[in-house]
Structure 1
Amino acid sequence: MSARLQAEVEAQRGFLIETTRRLVAVASPNPPGDVTECAEVATGLLRAIDGVSITRYETAPGVVNLVAVMKGAAPGRRLVFNGHLDTFPIGEGHWTVPPLGGTLKDGRIYGRGVSDMKAGIAAALTALRILAGLRERWRGELVMTLAGDEENMGSLGSRWLLEHVPEAGGDAMLCGDVGSPMVLRFGEKGLCWVEIEAEGRPAHGAHVHKGTNAIDRLRQALDGLKRLENLPVAAPADVTSAIMAARPISEELSGEGEAETLQRVTVNIGTMEGGISPNLVPARARAAADIRLPVGVSLEAVEAALHRELDPCQGVNWRIIRAYPPSFTPPSHEIVRRTIAAATKVLGTAPVANMRVGASDARLYRMFGVPSVVFGCTPFNMGAPDEYILVDELVAVAKVHTLAAFDFLSEA
C-alpha cells in the first residue's frame, strides 16, 4: 500500500505543481487580510474531490475560513489537515520573477507565500484527492481546515474554528507549514510581547539636575527585562532529548545555536524611542520587546518575573499586549511516530523530531487538546523577494501526508 500511495502521488505530480501555482497566483496578503479570492480557488479545488462536504465561515470582512470533511468506510478517528490561506505582503526589494506568477523554473516554484504555506496546502489537497479514491480502505474522517487568518496570530482563523466548529478539531492534526522534510516539528516556543513606557521631567540638557531622564529610567527597566533570560527551565526529559538528538541535522538547516535557543528564554528588544533633541532631557521614552518561552517555563512565571523586575522601576509602566504558552505533542505520540515512519519510507532515511522556535497554528490545536505536528517544505527567501520551494520536496511532502493520513485512519 505504501508503494501504491507513493505511485499515486507521482502520477499526480502535475496536479500538485499546478495547484501550487494556482494558489500562489491569487494574492492573499495579511495585512490587509482579505483572502476571499484565494478561498474561492481552494473551494473549487475541494469541490472537485468526490465525497467532500465544504462549509465556509467568514469571521470578518475578507477573512474566509473553510472546513472540508470527507468520511471513510466506517466510523473512526478524525485526522485534520490544517493550513492557512493568508501570506506575508509582497514587501520591498527586487523580484527577478513575478511575485504572483507561480514561476516554475529549474525544479523550483517561486512566488509570495509559496513556502508559507500554499505549497503545503497543495500537498494536503493532493493527499485528500488520493485518499478520496480509497475510502473503502480507511475509517473515520479526514478533515481539511483552511484558515483565513494565521499571520495575525489566528484569532479569526484556526482559533475561531476550534472554538465554534466541532469538525475543525480531531484526534490528531498534520500541518504542511514551513519546515523541512528532514525535520518534523512537534512543538513550539511560547510568546509574550511587552510594551514599556517611562516618564521623566523635561529640562535643558545642560541643567540635568533640574530634570529626570525618561530614557535612563527606560534603560533600567530594559536591563531588568533582559534578566528574564536567566529564568530556570524545567523541560520534560523527552523534549530535551529530542532537541539534542535533532541538533546535528536541524541546526544545519535552521542555523547554529538553534538547540540552545529552543531551551532558554530569549528577550528581543525590538523597538525603542524617546527624546526630541540631544540637548533636552527627555520626558518620555518607550520600548517593545518579544519574549520567547521554551517548554518548561510558564506564562505565569514570566509575568511574575516581569512584576519582580519592572514594578520597582520608578516612573515606569508596562503591559503585556500578546501572549501564549509554549506547547508540544510528546515525541512518542502516535501522530509523531506515524509521520516519521511515513517520511522514512518516502525519503529512505528517518527525519529528526524537534521543537520550533517560531509559531504556527499547531500551537492553537495543541491548546485545544489536539496532538499536532508540522511537516512541510524548506522555505527559501521566506518573506523576501524570490521566495521559492523545491518541487522534489513538495512531492515528498505530499507523499508523507498521504501515507501518514492513511496509516492513522486505517488503524483499528
Structure 2
Amino acid sequence: YSEEGWITPPWSGEIIEDKIYGRGSTDMKCGTSASIWTYIILNKFKTKFSGKLTLTCVSDEETFGPWGSRWLIDNEPEVLGDCCLNGEPSSPFTIRYGEKGLLWLTFKVQTDGSHGAYTHLSKSATLVATDLIQELKSLEALDVEVPHELRKAQEKSATAFDQGMGVGAANIAPKVTLNIGTISGGLKNNMVPSECSFEADIRLPVGCNLDKIFNSIDEITKKFPEASMEQNMLNPPSHCNPDGDMMQILKSNVQDLRGFKPEPVVSLGGTDARLWRYKNIPAYVYGPTPTGMGSTNENVPIDDYLHLVKTHALSAYDYLTN
C-alpha cells in the first residue's frame, strides 16, 4: 500500500489525538480484537452460562473466500450456535440485522474494430459497452417488495443510518444499486476499439426477486449481440428478526453505556454474518464507525474501541445467562 496521504505510516498503529491509525484499524482489527477480548473475559464466568461461547476468526472475509467461515460452517457446525455477534464496522448508532446481497458480473464486448478515421466500418466496442452500462443502470429503478416489518424498521432508522454511513445511505438501502468497478478497452487513440470489458457490482436489497433481476439483465444483454456475460459471484441478501433477543440486549447495553439506543438497519456491504443467516441463525453486527475504511488515514477512536469491547462482552454475557 502507498503511504501517500497518510498522516502516519499505514502499518504503524500509531495513536494520535486518542485515535488508533492504521490499515485495517476499523475494518477489521477493532471488531476482531473485541471478539477476542469478549472470549477471554467471559471465559472467567463460563460456569454461570446456560450455554457456551465459540470464537471464530478468519482471514478471507474480504474476498468472500472458501477457507474461512464458509469452511468452518461446512466442517465445524458448532460455530453456528444459536446466535452470532459480529464486530464489522457499523457505527455505534446502528445494529445490522441484515445485509444487501451482491451479484458480480463481467461483460465482454467484441467488434471488428478499425482505424479511428473509419468509424463507418465497425462499431466501437467501448461505445457499445457505454450503451450497455447505461441500460444496466435501469436495474436501479426496479421495484423491490421489502417485507412490511423490515420496511417499518428501515423507515424508523433512516436518520441513524445516514449518521453512521453517510447521507443517502438510508435512501439506497432498499434499492438495487449498480457500480462499474473496472473497465478496459482500446489500444490507441486513433483506433476504433475491437474489445472492451467491464465488471459490474450489483447490490441486491432484502426483498428483491432474484429471478426478476436475472430476467432483466438477460433482456438488456439481448439488445447487444456484441456482448457476452459471465457471472463471477452471487450472494443473496439476508436478514433476521430486527426485534430479536440479541437486538434488544445490544440496545439495552448501549443505552446503559452511551445513553442512546442504536437503530436496526440493513447493511449496504457484505459480511460473513450472512452465512449464519443463510442457516437461519440470527446474526447481528455492531461495530465501530467506518472512518477511512479501505482508504487513507483509516482510524478508530480509542473510546469507540473500548465501547465495542464492553458492549460485546456484556451482551454475550446477558445472552448466555438469560
Please give the TM-score of this superposition, normalised by the length of structure 1: 0.74
Of structures 1 and 2, the one scoring higher in RCO (CA 8 A, sep 6+) is 2
Code of the residue aligned with 1:347 in structure 2: it is: R
Q: Shift of residue 383 of structure 1?
A: 2.0
CA contact (8 A) 1:91 1:383 kept: no
The aligned counterpart of 1:242 is: 153
**1:100 aligned to 11, 26, 37, which one?**
11
CA contact (8 A) 1:150 1:360 kept: yes
CA contact (8 A) 2:102 2:234 kept: yes
CA contact (8 A) 2:144 2:209 kept: no
Q: Do residues 200 (structure 1) and 96 (structure 2) align? A: no
Relative to structure 1, is the Cα distance of residues 119 and 208 closer, same or farther in structure 2, using a 3 angstrom cutoff?
closer
Residues in 1 aligned to 2:21 and 2:130: alpha-carbon distance in whole angstroms: 44
Code of the residue aligned with 1:345 in structure 2: it is: D
Unaligned 5+ segments in structure 2 are none
The aligned counterpart of 2:319 is: 408
After alignment, is 359-368 or 275-284 more displaced? 275-284
Relative to structure 1, is the Cα distance of residues 100 and 198 closer, same or farther in structure 2, using a 3 angstrom cutoff?
closer
SS at match of 1:99: coil
The aligned counterpart of 2:281 is: 370
CA contact (8 A) 1:299 1:324 kept: no
Code of the residue aligned with 2:127 in structure 1: it is: D
Question: Across the two proteins, how many residue pairs are aligned to each other?
Answer: 322
CA contact (8 A) 1:225 1:306 kept: yes
Unaligned 5+ segments in structure 1 are 1-89
Relative to structure 1, is the Cα distance of residues 135 and 279 closer, same or farther in structure 2, using a 3 angstrom cutoff?
closer
The aligned counterpart of 1:227 is: 138
CA contact (8 A) 2:3 2:10 kept: no
Give aligned-pair identity as a percent: 33
Q: Do residues 283 (structure 1) and 194 (structure 2) align? A: yes
Code of the residue aligned with 1:300 in structure 2: it is: D
Code of the residue aligned with 1:122 in structure 2: it is: S
Q: Do residues 158 (structure 1) and 66 (structure 2) align? A: no
Relative to structure 1, is the Cα distance of residues 282 and 237 closer, same or farther in structure 2, using a 3 angstrom cutoff?
same
Q: Do residues 314 (structure 1) and 217 (structure 2) align? A: no
SS at match of 1:132: helix
**1:355 aligned to 253, 263, 266, which one?**
266
Q: Once the two structures are superposed, what CA deviation does each residue of 1:329-349 show, in whole Å capped at 9, x if it has no partner? A: 120222222222222222222
CA contact (8 A) 1:298 1:326 kept: no
Code of the residue aligned with 1:284 in structure 2: it is: E
Code of the residue aligned with 2:80 in structure 1: it is: G
Q: Do residues 184 (structure 1) and 95 (structure 2) align? A: yes
Relative to structure 1, is the Cα distance of residues 91 and 235 closer, same or farther in structure 2, using a 3 angstrom cutoff?
farther
SS at match of 1:359: coil
After alignment, is 382-391 or 262-271 more displaced? 382-391
After alignment, is 257-266 or 117-126 more displaced? 117-126
After alignment, is 389-398 or 268-277 more displaced? 268-277
Code of the residue aligned with 2:114 in structure 1: it is: A
SS at match of 2:56: strand
Relative to structure 1, is the Cα distance of residues 91 and 173 closer, same or farther in structure 2, using a 3 angstrom cutoff?
farther
Residues in 2 aligned to 1:229 and 1:336: alpha-carbon distance in whole angstroms: 30
The aligned counterpart of 1:330 is: 241
Relative to structure 1, is the Cα distance of residues 280 and 95 closer, same or farther in structure 2, using a 3 angstrom cutoff?
closer
Residues in 2 aligned to 1:215 and 1:360: alpha-carbon distance in whole angstroms: 34
Q: Once the two structures are superposed, what CA deviation does each residue of 1:350-408 show, in whole Å capped at 9, x if it has no partner? A: 11111111111111221222210111112322223332111111121111111211111
The aligned counterpart of 1:297 is: 208
Residues in 1 aligned to 2:218 and 2:95: alpha-carbon distance in whole angstroms: 36
SS at match of 2:55: strand
Q: Shift of residue 92 of structure 1?
A: 4.5
Please give the TM-score of this superposition, normalised by the length of structure 2: 0.94
Code of the residue aligned with 1:361 in structure 2: it is: D
Q: Shift of residue 277 of structure 1?
A: 3.2
Q: Shift of residue 112 of structure 1?
A: 1.8
Residues in 2 aligned to 1:342 and 1:154: alpha-carbon distance in whole angstroms: 33
Residues in 2 aligned to 1:136 and 1:283: alpha-carbon distance in whole angstroms: 69
CA contact (8 A) 1:93 1:384 kept: no
Residues in 2 aligned to 1:294 and 1:391: alpha-carbon distance in whole angstroms: 33
Residues in 1 aligned to 2:119 and 2:34: alpha-carbon distance in whole angstroms: 63
Residues in 2 aligned to 1:279 and 1:95: alpha-carbon distance in whole angstroms: 39
CA contact (8 A) 1:298 1:325 kept: no
Q: Do residues 265 (structure 1) and 166 (structure 2) align? A: no
Residues in 1 aligned to 2:116 and 2:290: alpha-carbon distance in whole angstroms: 50
Code of the residue aligned with 1:247 in structure 2: it is: A
Code of the residue aligned with 1:294 in structure 2: it is: P
